[in-house]
Structure 1
């Protein structure tokens, strides 16, 4: 590497040495629109607009970003010549860094042998995540392969932060990433309405509300749930109710992080105790339900919460339009052909 190239790389790495800038770069790289409004980044970082603009200016000066002003807002995208490098950087470091154990807690102890074992585990996990990304990219040819890889990596990273059982991370990542990819491709004007329930931990209220709506709707509506700060697992009392409603599927439910993709794909977003965490998307209907947290309730209290949610869900269902699913439309088409 020549001196000039080394200076350029060093400047880029220095700019990315700030965690907030790294998060911003990751968010821009993962945005399905191929670009991100500065207003969205301010919401992501929860800092003032001038602070966001300062960090973006640093990234732009290093050549990592390009920007374009449209009316009031400035939109940012990864510079064309840097997209592959940015994707490679995020792919290489995110999973390993998140799985890295605190000092003194590495597998096998703080020894050369233990560190070697841990390094091998991380390499194997990175390889599994990369393989999953390739498989999902092959299955979603309508989406850019690099975008699919970013979504898989981010899905994995989000689950690592809250997952209790790391041995299930790759299967959970696949389920979560598949849903996110489906959200990107969803046409809100076609197919059954989609409702997103959001609470803080996605361990109680939102999980239960989604299960109730799916059962009551009988396929006429798709209900999903997410959390602004997901817990490690679903609350035990709520899980027992989910199993009653959904059987084995209820036993497999897990807390999921809230994503902008899920909000954009929804027709209705119902928040419960999580404040104004959802981005405002034109065309999406928002409701806020004051529902007690099952984690703070006794057994009888959890059942009362279930009953209250049932009534609210019934009322919500009555307001949703009836739109046939793709399978139902295909069935009707076949029936009309043979009529």
Structure 2
């Protein structure tokens, strides 16, 4: 006779809700999301957040859509009621800016949630991915041993650890392709160079950091490397890297760097070593994710995301970045 255990309904389904968002907080957040659930309002919020002046005039915002002035005012009033915007009247015009206490929330919405929500997810074959990961692990081990044999001036265990960490950082987000091992090697070599770089010697180095490293930071680094002509070196990274560079940006990289360089561009995770190796770190919508390293200069550029922009918007963002880059290069090369 088989012994059976009777499970009551209470035992079978007893989920814990202790960590769920509280009712009051959920009500507040839901109200803000409801207010933002309009394409024009989202575009207005983005325009204000990325305006180089730190604020936008209602006359500028009216150009976003072919609607009447009362309609524009209505949408701005709804956004203001969420607490995300502050306004100030100057003469006949009203200017809007992001409320200081809401800047992180707006940045998270526009720089992390929006690109992820707009991206089309591809169905994943988990069994096939697991098999590929197993094969990749063996190839990464071989790569680590080869680099350790080559770079005899560095601690062998350190080289192997950096290679494996580099692969782990890339594989979390990047698509598994035939290029994963070469990308891992490039990333690992750069990290090892960062560990040994002396900031007092060589040309200045700039690190651009955004959330996904799929758009504006890639574009900014390419523009620096084009305009600096070797006098300054630029790199980029992301606090939460995307799986690939956005198509809009890759086409711009092709114009700036050439097809070969553009094809091999990939989103890279932000590391402390990259920050330590940089002379200047420029954040672009990623908040305070960068560690503060003594001797490193920090700037924050409020620049629109080309991954979400129209073709006209992409051109405007590129022009904005080029203007900022020229100013940056003037400060870095004036002493050369």
TM over 0.5: yes
- Which residue of the other structure, out of 181, 204, 228, is the alignment partner of 1:217? 228
State how 1:88-237 maps to structure 2 within 5 Å.
105-107=126-128, 118=131, 121-237=132-248
Provide structure 2 residue ranges, at least 5 long, that are not aligned to the other structure: 1-123
Instruction: Kindly report structure 1 stretches of 4+ aligned residues shifted beyond 6 Å.
Output: none
Shift of 1:321: 4.0
Provide structure 1 residue ranges, at least 5 long, that are not aligned to the other structure: 1-102, 109-114, 325-339
**What are the superposed Cα offsets for residues 138-157 of structure 1, whole Å, 9 maximum, x if unpaired?**
23222211111111001000
**What are the superposed Cα offsets for residues 235-277 of structure 1, whole Å, 9 maximum, x if unpaired?**
1111111000000202221100100010000000000000000
Root-mean-square deviation (CA, aligned residues, Å) is 2.1
What is the TM-score with the length of structure 2 in the denominator?
0.60
Q: Distance in 2 between the 1:276 and 1:186 partners?
A: 24
Q: Distance in 2 between the 1:144 and 1:323 partners?
A: 36
Contact 2:250 2:262 in 1 (8 A): yes
Contact 2:231 2:333 in 1 (8 A): no
State how 1:229-248 maps to structure 2 within 5 Å.
229-247=240-258, 248=260
Contact 1:202 1:226 in 2 (8 A): yes
State how 1:303-318 maps to structure 2 within 5 Å.
303-318=315-330
Q: Distance in 2 between the 1:123 and 1:272 partners?
A: 36
SS state at 1:183 partner: helix
- With over 3 angstroms needed to count, the CA separation of the structure-2 counterparts of 1:245 and 1:301, relative to structure 1, is same
Q: Distance in 2 between the 1:213 and 1:107 partners?
A: 40
- 2:301 is aligned to 289
Shift of 1:295: 1.6
- 1:263 is aligned to 275
- With over 3 angstroms needed to count, the CA separation of the structure-2 counterparts of 1:322 and 1:172, relative to structure 1, is farther
What is the TM-score with the length of structure 1 in the denominator?
0.60
Q: Distance in 1 between the 2:318 and 2:312 partners?
A: 10
- 1:329 is aligned to none
Bigger drift between 182-191 and 163-172 goes to 163-172
Between 1 and 2, higher relative CO (CA 8 Å, sep ≥ 6) is seen in 2
**What are the superposed Cα offsets for residues 103-135 of structure 1, whole Å, 9 maximum, x if unpaired?**
983139xxxxxx9xx3xx555322211111112
- With over 3 angstroms needed to count, the CA separation of the structure-2 counterparts of 1:225 and 1:104, relative to structure 1, is closer
- With over 3 angstroms needed to count, the CA separation of the structure-2 counterparts of 1:159 and 1:323, relative to structure 1, is farther
- 1:300 is aligned to 312
SS state at 2:241 partner: coil
- With over 3 angstroms needed to count, the CA separation of the structure-2 counterparts of 1:205 and 1:152, relative to structure 1, is same
- With over 3 angstroms needed to count, the CA separation of the structure-2 counterparts of 1:323 and 1:256, relative to structure 1, is farther
Shift of 1:323: 8.2
Q: Distance in 2 between the 1:323 and 1:256 partners?
A: 31
Shift of 1:165: 3.4
- With over 3 angstroms needed to count, the CA separation of the structure-2 counterparts of 1:238 and 1:279, relative to structure 1, is same
Q: Distance in 2 between the 1:252 and 1:217 partners?
A: 21
Contact 1:192 1:323 in 2 (8 A): no
Shift of 1:167: 2.6
Contact 2:210 2:284 in 1 (8 A): yes
- 2:94 is aligned to none
Q: Distance in 2 between the 1:316 and 1:293 partners?
A: 20
Matched residue pairs, number? 213
